[in-house]
Amino acid sequence: MASTSLQSALTPAVETTEPPAAPAGGRKTWRKDGRAAVLFLAPWFVGLVGITLGPIIASLVLSFTDYNLLSDPNWVGLENYRAMLEDERLHQALRVTITYTVVGVPAQLVVALGLAIVLDRGVRGLPLYRSIYYLPSLLGGSVAIAILWRLIFGTRGLVNQVLELPVVSDLAGLVGLTPTGWISNPDTALWTIVLLHVWTFGSPMVIFLAGLRQIPAMYYEAASVDGAGWFTRFFRITLPLLTPIIFFNLVLQVINSFQSFTQAFIVSGGKGGPADATLFYTLYLYQEGFKNFDMGYASAMAWLLLTIIAGFTAVNFIAARYWVFYGDE
Amino acid sequence: MRTRRRTQLRAASAAALALALAVAAGGCGDDGDSGDGTIQLTFTWWGSDSRHAYTQELIDMFTAEHPNIEIQPTFSDFDGYWDALATATAGGNAPDIIQMEERFVREYVANGQLLDLNTVSDVLDTSQLDPAALAAGEIDGGLYTIATGFNAFAIVADPQIVQDAGFEMPDDTTWSWQDYIDLTVDISEAGGGDYFGAQAFGTNEALFNIYARQQGEALYNADGTLGFTAETLAEFWDLALEQIERGGTPGPEETVEIGATGPDQSLLATNRGAFGTWWTNQLGTLSGSAGRELVLLRQPGESTGVQPGMYLKPAMSWSISANTEHPREAAMFVDFLLNSPEAGEKLLNDRGVPANPTVRDAIADQLPPAEQQVADFMSELAPTLGEAPPPPPTGAGEVVDIMQRIYEEMLFGNLTTTEAANEFIEQVQDAIAT
Amino acid sequence: MATNELLRTTDTADSYRGPRRRPWWQSLLIHGGLVGFGLVMLYPLLWMLSSSFKPTDIIFREPGLIPTELEPGNYVQGWTALLHPFHRYIFNSLVIVACSIVGNLLACSMTAYAFARLNFRGRKLFFAVMLATIMLPIHVVIVPQYILFNELGWINTFYPLIVPKFLAQDAFFIFLMVQFIRVLPRELDEAARIDGCNHWGIFWRVIMPLSMPALATTAIFTFIWTWNDFYSQLIFLTDPDLATVPLALRFFVDSQGDTSWGPLFSMSIVALVPIFGFFLAGQRYLVRGIATTGIK
């Protein structure tokens, strides 16, 4: 499984040559740590074994069956996995989801980080701006989003009204932007959902803000003594010390984005249309499992997804060794 | 040979299956009695706030008459409903009384999850019901669900727009599909973009069923196979595309956009279209949103084809879980819902025009105007209707999505109507085979 | 205790950020940009607010921002139209949210401390397993979960929604806190150790106070995500007496098109108040984080 590569990738990023302020006692602390670890991990471990692991393993087993929710499952071996090879809708779903992840995640993180940095500086009324920018993320899965998205990107929506203004239409025409039904045209529908994703940048922004606040002041004080300017401080202190948080956002956003469901469900009314243009992987999986009563196949799909996500995450962890800096190293 | 391989496979995988079986076996649903002799039933339905409110009143009325029965309600919106029901069923925890939908009946019946209502016929009286109410639930000699009431798939028209455009309301007893398309094109022209002749058709499998029946075919045969030819479907889609291309409706993009919304955001509801195809029970919402009176018309082609194609569709239906511990009490409640005029006064037409003619007559003068129109339309229609269609095959729930998907591909020019028809048949056969 | 001297509460915003005074035109530019951007962000909310005051029938006929007809009755109707008054659903949601926050704060931070600061056998493996648990879509695990909770007799109780939080089953927050803890210099732990603190002492007296921003983030997100979480509440809570805010909002929705939009939007606005309030309160802890001054 991918977890082995993931595991090997999980060695602490930025291995420094000299051991970091080595805890006194060497081996002894290791053993002492072990005992403490048992205590600290106890709740998590109990939950893992008692609640989480069972259903996960069950889904793996069910992926080798024809489970339809309403009757006992029958073993079908690798049949579900073989069927996935020929399932064109599944391939379409993969294309959609990967496009969305590869474009949407970096775009959202750049916006979130940029705004977090702007909003972290001394501007009057900052808490207000921060809160306002966070509002769209609060709306979450509200059905209102679907209606709004149509009011904005529909054939008669705001975007087209702007594009039809005298001067704007000429300028837009130069770059090939002409009014269309942005959410109903299969060529553009996915991009409106990517935009929706970027628009709800509130969560990573808040995490970045918290990260900026967690940076120990002593580093800045030292830099001030050296007479470093804002620019130097930002690139020598802020950015490097923020890398663990950037890394966190990247890893988690990739994981979440592969499982992206709600936004596409709401905007397309659960269909993934037009013509499967917004058929996200989990949306298709959900349709297969619950609407078409093929939970066996849906489970197999889920395990393929897990493998893919684990692969991406492993790559992230491997790459992190070269760019993430931890204060505890 | 094949069987032996299967047995081997099973033996080899027994251990791994144990867990999955445990999963499927699920709980043992100990929601039976509460010790003091009170019988507890669970009852689930989908809908919105007004339905939740009056259904609770129905429960209270019934339990007041039967103090030994308690009914625990569960309700949600349509999408969440099926997930919750399937999950609860998987957990061996299915509610006793279930509001069902035509397209999912076979799925539940095939897996033995619904009670054969013939076994409780002593308390559940079906003798007064419209035969069409039972047709939908008669599967393999059993009776698994009974229609709550009926809808018909009809044309809804806005006489105001037709008049504004300078036309007369059409005669729906004689009009053909071509008449319909020509009229909508003319109205769009008169509207100059402010309003359109119609909202496009072509994604709805019920409408295609009507069209196919008019040609002497049907969407499904009684044995669950497909009852139409690719030519008929291609013809149907040719008509739909002709209407769009000639401007009788908004263009492809707006068509997809509007198609994705409910009736309250449709062209008719926003005073931007003269005609649309809707279920009769949606008339109230449409007129309410439109803020003016809309009227029901028969579908085109009813008199120009081989036979009339319109039919009464069960709006939804009542079923009882096969695993209920109290089939008799559950059946008594269903009987109350179907046959009691007092229950009818709460239900009115909300779950379709009632399946019991006595109830239908009892509530006739209590209906709001739009519902009154629906009731009148349905009773006028009834004598001219063809035979009720058989219950759709297992997997029919997928057909709606398949139809929409292929229709959209076709709309954006990725498929010709003939290719689309063949593709549709292939995918539907795939879906209902499993 | 010497450890306390290591920590000094400061308003870091003033101690090291750039000069506050800038020319008026620059301020104008910055605020203009921020306000303009804010309006784009706010548009949907304003639309929902305006629609919540319109009669349901005209919401789609007149989708503009300024209502031509005011219908404050939506709020009354929304509050009372369901089986229970709306505050009942808010109360149910608040119970779940409050327990979830306490659970996540305690359990996830403990787990995170172990992963971030302790050396133990199998750490990397456990960490990978932990991350893997959030890589499966909920739709395939919810049925086995339902069966499990049904066996435990937990269906139609809040346990399925709360207990996992106390058992640190939300890897997102564990990983979040691991990353935040790892930013803190280890010298702090060492100093505390020299002062005689054991791991619990370091965790409780050093790491937790320094992790205020991370804890605030965890609390805020737990609140919002639990408050908005529709799916698991739909599956595990079928008794209308236990319904939560997202479930109650769906009670207004009808697939046949008879959705009560007015009451739906008005109650959606009401439902936003607690999360927005909590966000406003919580973000103060993000801004005024307790920062270390370090060891000289």
Report the greatest alpha carbon distance in chain B.
Answer: 76
List the chains bordering chain B where 3 or more Cβ pairs fall under 8 Å.
Answer: A, C
Q: Which residues contact B351 (CB under 8 A, 6 or more apart)?
A: B51, B148, B149, B315, B316
Residues of chain B found within 8 Å of residue C150, distances taken between Cβ atoms: 26-27, 91-93
Nearest Cβ partner for C175 among A3, A47, A252: A252
Q: How far is CA B241 from CA B403, B407, B419, in A?
A: 15, 10, 14
Residues of chain B found within 8 Å of residue A287, distances taken between Cβ atoms: 401
Residue ranges of A 110-169 with Cβ closer than 8 A to chain B: 147, 150, 154-156
The answer to whether the CB atoms of A184 and B254 lie below 8 A apart is yes
pTM over the 0.95 mark: no
What pLDDT was estimated at residue C20? 52
The answer to whether the CB atoms of C146 and B91 lie below 8 A apart is yes
Is B36 in CB contact (< 8 Å) with chain A?
no
Q: CA of A61 to nearest chain C CA: how many angstroms apart?
A: 11
The answer to whether the CB atoms of B91 and C234 lie below 8 A apart is no
Residues of chain A found within 8 Å of residue B253, distances taken between Cβ atoms: 155, 180-181, 184-185
Q: How far is CA A169 from CA A152, A164, A312, B343, C36, in A?
A: 17, 5, 41, 60, 22
- Other CB atoms within a 10 A radius of the CB of residue B429 amount to 12
The answer to whether the CB atoms of C239 and B83 lie below 8 A apart is no
What integer best gives the mean pLDDT of chain A? 84
* pLDDT tens digits in sequence order for chain C, 296 residues long: 333 333 333 334 333 444 456 678 888 888 888 888 888 888 888 888 998 999 888 888 888 888 888 888 899 999 998 989 999 999 999 999 999 999 999 999 999 999 999 988 899 999 999 999 999 999 999 999 999 999 999 999 999 999 999 999 999 999 999 998 988 888 888 899 898 889 999 999 889 988 888 999 999 999 999 999 999 999 999 999 999 999 999 999 887 777 888 999 999 999 999 999 998 888 777 754 444 433 32
Say if residue A186 is preceded by a cis peptide, omega within 30 of 0: no
Q: Which residue of C has its CA nearest to A299?
A: C140
Residues of chain B found within 8 Å of residue A266, distances taken between Cβ atoms: none
Q: Which residue of B has its CA nearest to C57?
A: B289
Stretch B39-48: mean pLDDT, rounded? 94
What pLDDT was estimated at residue B337? 96
Rounded distance between C-alpha atoms, residue C106 and residue B57, angstroms: 45
Q: Which residues contact B134 (CB under 8 A, 6 or more apart)?
A: B126, B143, B146, B147
Stretch A112-135: mean pLDDT, rounded? 81
The answer to whether the CB atoms of C259 and B271 lie below 8 A apart is no
CB pairs B-C closer than 8 Å: 122
Q: Which residue of C has its CA nearest to A144?
A: C48
pLDDT of A24 over the 80 cut: no
The answer to whether the CB atoms of B23 and C83 lie below 8 A apart is no
Residue B56, sorted as left (phi over 0), alpha (psi -120 to 50) or beta, turns out to be alpha
Give B29's pLDDT tier (boundaries 50, 70, 90): very low
pLDDT of B20 over the 50 cut: no
Nearest Cβ partner for C234 among B73, B76, B262: B76
pLDDT of B4 over the 70 cut: no
Torsion sign across C-alpha atoms C263, C268, C269, C274: positive
The answer to whether the CB atoms of A127 and C284 lie below 8 A apart is yes
Stretch A31-43: mean pLDDT, rounded? 86
Q: Residues A125-157: pLDDT tens digits?
A: 777 888 888 888 888 667 778 888 888 888 888
- Is A237 in contact with A223 (CB distance < 8 Å)? yes
Q: Which residue of B has its CA nearest to C58?
A: B289
The answer to whether the CB atoms of A293 and B86 lie below 8 A apart is yes
Residues of chain A found within 8 Å of residue C246, distances taken between Cβ atoms: 141
In a mutagenesis test of the C interface, which of A213, A288, A306 is the best target, namely the one with the most C β-carbons within 10 Å? A213
Rounded distance between C-alpha atoms, residue C274 and residue C224, angstroms: 9
Amino acid at A245: I
What pLDDT was estimated at residue C57? 82
- Other CB atoms within a 10 A radius of the CB of residue C98 amount to 14
Residues of chain A found within 8 Å of residue B401, distances taken between Cβ atoms: 271, 287, 291
What pLDDT was estimated at residue B62? 97
Q: Which helix (H) or strand (E) holds A265?
A: helix A262-267
pLDDT of A64 over the 70 cut: yes
Residues of chain A found within 8 Å of residue C176, distances taken between Cβ atoms: 207, 248, 252
Amino acid at C90: I
Nearest Cβ partner for B72 among C61, C239, C263: C239
Rounded distance between C-alpha atoms, residue B58 and residue B342, angstroms: 9
Q: CA of A61 to nearest chain B CA: how many angstroms apart?
A: 6
DSSP state of B152: -
- Is A163 in contact with A178 (CB distance < 8 Å)? yes
Q: Which residue of A has its CA nearest to C60?
A: A147
What pLDDT was estimated at residue C56? 85
What pLDDT was estimated at residue C291? 47
Q: Residues B207-226: pLDDT tens digits?
A: 999 999 999 999 999 888 99
The closest alpha carbon to B208, from B13, B433, B417, B352, belongs to B417
What integer best gives the mean pLDDT of chain B? 88
pLDDT of B87 over the 60 cut: yes
What pLDDT was estimated at residue A140? 67
- Is A325 in contact with A16 (CB distance < 8 Å)? no
Q: Which residue of C has its CA nearest to B87?
A: C143
Stretch B250-267: mean pLDDT, rounded? 88
Rounded distance between C-alpha atoms, residue A257 and residue C137, angstroms: 11
Residue ranges of A 22-81 with Cβ closer than 8 A to chain B: 57-58, 61-62, 64-65, 67-75, 77
DSSP state of B263: G
The answer to whether the CB atoms of A62 and B113 lie below 8 A apart is no
Q: Which residues contact B36 (CB under 8 A, 6 or more apart)?
A: none
Q: Which residues contact C296 (CB under 8 A, 6 or more apart)?
A: A218
Give A103's pLDDT tier (boundaries 50, 70, 90): very high
What pLDDT was estimated at residue A123? 66
What pLDDT was estimated at residue A122? 62
The closest alpha carbon to B112, from A69, C150, A62, belongs to A69
Runs of H (alpha helix) within C81-158 = 86-103, 109-117, 123-132, 138-151
What pLDDT was estimated at residue B434? 59
Q: Which residue of B has its CA nearest to A151?
A: B257
Is C96 in CB contact (< 8 Å) with chain A?
no
Q: Which residue of B has its CA nearest to A294?
A: B434
Residues of chain C found within 8 Å of residue A59, distances taken between Cβ atoms: 136, 140-141, 144
Stretch A277-303: mean pLDDT, rounded? 94
What pLDDT was estimated at residue A328? 66
Is B264 in CB contact (< 8 Å) with chain C?
yes
Nearest Cβ partner for B409 among A181, A275, A290: A275
ipTM: 0.86
What pLDDT was estimated at residue A30? 52
Is C240 in CB contact (< 8 Å) with chain B?
yes
Is B400 in CB contact (< 8 Å) with chain A?
no
The answer to whether the CB atoms of B279 and C256 lie below 8 A apart is yes
pLDDT over 70, % of chain B: 91
Residues of chain A found within 8 Å of residue B86, distances taken between Cβ atoms: 69-70, 290, 293
List the chains bordering chain A where 3 or more Cβ pairs fall under 8 Å.
Answer: B, C
Is C281 in CB contact (< 8 Å) with chain A?
no
Stretch A247-252: mean pLDDT, rounded? 95
DSSP state of C292: B
What pLDDT was estimated at residue C265? 92
Residue ranges of A 261-300 with Cβ closer than 8 A to chain B: 268-271, 273-276, 287, 290-294
The answer to whether the CB atoms of B264 and C60 lie below 8 A apart is yes
Lowest mean pLDDT, pick from A215-219, B117-121, B317-321: A215-219
